[in-house]
Amino acid sequence: MTTIADITAADHADMLGAIRSLPSQFRVGRDAAAIRREAIAARTASSPGALVVCGMGGSGVGADLLPAVFDTDVPVVGVKGYDLPSWVNEQDMVVCVSYSGNTAETLSCFAQANDSHHVTAAVITSGGKLAELAQQAEVPWVEVPGGLQPRAATGVLFGALATVASACGAVGGSDHVDDVLDECAKGVQTVVDQHPVDVDPTTLPGLVAARDLAGCVVVIYGAGATAPVAWRWKAQVNENGKLPAFANSYPELDHNEIVGWTRFAETGAKVGVVELLPPDASEAVRARFDITKDLIGESASVVLRYEATSQSKPAALFELLAHGDFVSAYLALDAGIDPSPVDRIESLKERLGGR
Ligand code: F6R
């Protein structure tokens, strides 16, 4: 019989513990940003344009989640690359997020924002070069605690980003942001509660799903607000599970990807599909999930559908996100692999030598 100790034996850096800490992380990030609130607000244009959030990987996901979780007052644009879009000007607010503070693409965006006198509202980082450069340029530094894998600090980074966005006038006042962040925490907590540490592990929904998906290329489909959550799942299956995974969203995938399944058998691949129903799914979107599943379901080894139980949108989205965190960690642990290290990313960054 598999015991909890068997499952967690490879969890040397305690990824499961980090996932369980997610609900308490939102307030940590909020508090780190709140003490910079006035300094950030003072840098904001009187009629703010777009909020431009630069960040890669685990530090970039907040840019996609922010407009899904909040009804934003200005456009939020995520930049996942070396360059700011050419339209960015002094009416816009640039926020650079890098958990380590040493990610080349984010440092490049920070330099471009400063060189062209665009407004960098703040940087969010635990330290590194980004903190140094922000201090030199007198840009507010939201200092988040370090020590986690960036992707395991999502609650901290999201809490900080939402608070910075609020200070910039992009998502409403601080009370509203605090309420929404509390909902996000509640959504995660419902999933943490389904994964107690002292039960027969084979009853844990995350492990059950991981076993269904074992040996599969994982394809995750969202729609609307769950599109960024599907992307987060994909990244977590990649980084925690060390498996190939791909994400797409309805309705766009019904206009191209669905045809690609026609000759699926010729690939010889084994694919598991994960469906993330949006909390406010319309009849049309629901029908798309159902009919598409009907058309492609035969090709997939397994189709797992997730529908949140939480009532509010922020809670529902983070509930669905947290399922992906657990499933991806168990995908590694059940194979005796430590989910935390990302050796390929480290060695790539080393070979690039800061480029
Ligand atoms: C590793 C992880 C990565 C990093 C990315 C950028 O846990 O999540 O996706 O987030 O390589 O590094 P940072 O976040 O330090 O800017």
pLDDT in tens, the chain (355 residues): 778 888 899 999 999 999 999 999 999 999 999 999 999 999 987 778 999 999 999 999 999 999 999 999 999 999 999 999 999 999 999 999 999 999 999 999 999 999 887 788 899 999 999 999 999 999 999 999 999 999 999 999 999 999 999 999 999 999 999 999 999 999 999 999 999 988 888 899 999 999 999 999 999 999 999 999 999 999 999 999 999 999 999 999 999 999 999 999 999 999 999 999 999 899 999 999 999 999 998 899 999 999 999 999 999 999 999 999 999 999 999 999 999 999 999 999 999 999 9
Q: Cα of 152 to ligand 1 centre, how many Å?
A: 10
What pLDDT shows up at residue 315?
Answer: 98
Residue 100 Cβ inside 6 Å of ligand 1? The answer reads yes
Helix (H, G, I), strand (E, B) or coil at 186: helix
Give the residue, out of 53, 100, 126, with the most ligand 1 atoms within 8 A of its beta carbon, to mutate for a pocket test.
Answer: 100
Helix (H, G, I), strand (E, B) or coil at 148: coil
Enumerate residues 6+ apart whose C-beta is below 8 A from 244.
217, 218, 238
Token representation of residue 147: 């020590």
DSSP string, 278-345: -TT--HHHHHHHHHHHHHHTTTSSEEEEE----SSHHHHHHHHHHHHHHHHHHHHHTTT--SS--HHH
Residue 99 Cβ inside 6 Å of ligand 1? The answer reads yes
Parallel, antiparallel, or unpaired: how do β-strands 51-54 and 93-97 relate? parallel
- The pTM for the full model equals 0.97
The strands making up 76-79's β-sheet, listed across from edge to edge, are 76-79, 51-54, 93-97, 119-125, 141-143
The set of long-range contacts for 201-206, using a CB threshold of 8 Å and a minimum separation of 24, is 201/2, 201/3, 201/4, 201/6, 201/7, 202/2, 204/326, 204/330, 205/323, 205/326, 206/323, 206/326, 206/327, 206/329, 206/330
Q: How far is CA 188 from the centre of its chain?
A: 13
The CA distance from 213 to 236, in Å, is: 14
Q: Whose structure tokens read 């642990």?
A: 333
How many other CB atoms sit within 10 Å of the CB of residue 217?
18
Give which of 98, 149, 104, 107 is closest to 126, Cα–Cα.
Answer: 98
What pLDDT shows up at residue 4?
Answer: 85
Residue 140 Cβ inside 6 Å of ligand 1? The answer reads no
Residue 59 Cβ inside 6 Å of ligand 1? The answer reads yes
Helix (H, G, I), strand (E, B) or coil at 156: helix
What pLDDT shows up at residue 296?
Answer: 92
What pLDDT shows up at residue 116?
Answer: 81
Residue 206 Cβ inside 6 Å of ligand 1? The answer reads no
What pLDDT shows up at residue 3?
Answer: 86
CB 310 within 8 A of CB 186: yes
